[in-house]
Amino acid sequence: MFVVTAASVMIMFISMAMIAISSILSKKSFMDREKSSPFECGFDPKSSSRLPFSLQFFLIAVIFLIFDVEIALLIPLISVMKISKINLLISISFFFIIILLLGLFHEWNQGALEWAV
């Protein structure tokens, strides 16, 4: 028990020493106006680079990502078709598609699929 405690104290001491040494020896970076501004072919930007982001676009992108995952989950059902019982395959596929349709109807009712609000 003493060996484990001593080893953990030594590991903690070595890691703290490494963190302290790296923070002392690290190169300090200064904030520069040119480095913190967006780059547009060497010219000063004409407008702000921090434009507001469309939340509707983000929601559509997330729904598309979920759709891709759903397709990736449906593709193996085709290769399993030859080796499984047809009744079990149909019931699993039907149950999975019903869950996906319920999710789609929920998104539709919440208004996530309407672009112009």
Residue 20 lies inside a defined structural domain of this protein? no
Residue 96 lies inside a defined structural domain of this protein? yes
**Do the Cβ atoms of 93 and 81 come closer than 8 Å?**
no
Residue 97 lies inside a defined structural domain of this protein? yes
Residue whose C-alpha is closest to residue 70's, from 116, 109, 107? 107
Give the model confidence (pLDDT) of 63-98 as tens digits: 888 888 888 888 888 888 888 888 888 888 899 889
Provide the pLDDT for residue 15. 95
Residue 41 lies inside a defined structural domain of this protein? no
CA 59 to chain centre: 13
Q: What is the CA radius of gyration of the chain?
A: 28
Alpha-carbon dihedral 43, 46, 47, 48, rounded to 10 degrees: 20
Give the list of residues 6+ apart from residue 54 with CB closer than 8 angstroms, or none.
none
Please say if the pLDDT value at position 16 is more than 90: yes
Give the model confidence (pLDDT) of 33-73 as tens digits: 666 666 666 666 666 666 677 777 887 888 888 888 888 88
Residue 48 lies inside a defined structural domain of this protein? no
Please say if the pLDDT value at position 117 is more than 60: no
Residue 88 lies inside a defined structural domain of this protein? yes
How many secondary structure helices (H) and strands (E) does the chain include?
5, 0
Residue 16 lies inside a defined structural domain of this protein? no
Higher pLDDT, 38 or 107: 107
Total count of domains within the chain:
1
Q: Is the pTM of this model over 0.85?
A: no
Please say if the pLDDT value at position 115 is more than 90: no
Residue 55 lies inside a defined structural domain of this protein? no
- Which one-letter amino acid corresponds to residue 83? I
Q: What residue numbers bound the domain in which 67 lies?
A: 61-110
